Amino acid sequence: MGVEGTIARSISAAAACGLTLTLWLSPASAADQYGAAPPKLRLSLDKLVRSYPDWIAAVDDDAVILRNGTRLPISDHRTDKSFDELIEHPDIDDMFYVPYPAATAPTPPGKNIDPGRARYAPLFAAMYGDCRNNDVAAKLKTIEWLPAHHGGKAAITATNGVDQALAAVSRALDRLPSDFMKFLMPTAGTYNCRSVAGSSVRSMHAYGAAVDLNVTYADYWRWSKDANAPIWKNRIPAEIVGAFEQQGFIWGGHWYHFDTMHFEYRPELLPDMPGSASPPSAQ
């Protein structure tokens, strides 16, 4: 008869006896049945709206609604994605498949725990533009990087106030003891119109919303002897990670496929923290 038939027969039997039968559905099945986001996802979607108020107007049962009226589907209703498909072809709810461990000590993540690596490209392209059309470069702003330590300059997008957020990170890092500076400068780059290495997915560098620190002290999973089973490594101090997180940036060192020099602006994945920068208000 199948699961559906069994459930229907149980409901009928309960009703005949004057009873109410309560069904507990998994979050995925609840969303499929009723078209509404499960509670944890709903909280994540609400944070998404708060994180990008100039671009996202609202969320309803099945779409993120941009201020220009564009509707971006929350889910493709696929529950059978492999990890590679999750990264290469995510929908919006896939971006929240694991929580980001904000304000925690750097520790080895579990296998394929890469919070933030699933990025729904149409959303980010709508906000930051397509670098191939020079949309992104036109929005870049140059900031002073660690001016107290003569760290040079960094070009970062002004969209979503990312330039202001990175400037606030720079001010916080400038106050750290001098022995931290070796990790921070020179930077290994910000804007770069490219895809993620070994992937067809657009890098957050292509949106001008990421920065890499000094490559000399970086560790990267593709540099492992066995890239299929990388052994997590890190030399970036927690104080540096914390300064970035306070301003809405996540760290690639919290990924199983680690990239410890990498930080990208993803406030939707972070809790609201005291002292953090507020996103720009909607126009």
pLDDT score at 129: 97
Same-domain check for residues 3 and 133: no
Task: Report the interhelical angle of 162-174 vs 238-245 (nearest 10°).
Answer: 150
Same-domain check for residues 131 and 27: no
> Residue 48 and residue 36: Cα distance in Å, rounded?
16
Same-domain check for residues 13 and 40: no
Same-domain check for residues 67 and 171: yes
pLDDT score at 273: 66
Same-domain check for residues 234 and 171: yes
Give a yes or no: residue 282 inside a domain: no
pLDDT score at 275: 52
Same-domain check for residues 97 and 236: yes
Give a yes or no: residue 280 inside a domain: no
Give the residue ranges of the chain where pLDDT is below 70. 1-37, 273-283
Give a yes or no: residue 276 inside a domain: no
Same-domain check for residues 9 and 133: no
Find the domain containing 201 and state its range.
36-269
Q: How many domains does the chain have?
A: 2
Same-domain check for residues 92 and 14: no
Give a yes or no: residue 278 inside a domain: no
pLDDT score at 197: 86
Same-domain check for residues 18 and 43: no
Give a yes or no: residue 162 inside a domain: yes
pLDDT score at 131: 95
Give a yes or no: residue 79 inside a domain: yes
Same-domain check for residues 247 and 143: yes
Give a yes or no: residue 167 inside a domain: yes
Give a yes or no: residue 93 inside a domain: yes
What are 213's two structure tokens? 């620190």
Same-domain check for residues 161 and 244: yes
Reported as a single tens digit per residue, the pLDDT across 166-185 is 999 999 999 999 999 999 99
Same-domain check for residues 50 and 5: no
pLDDT score at 279: 52
The pTM for the full model equals 0.84
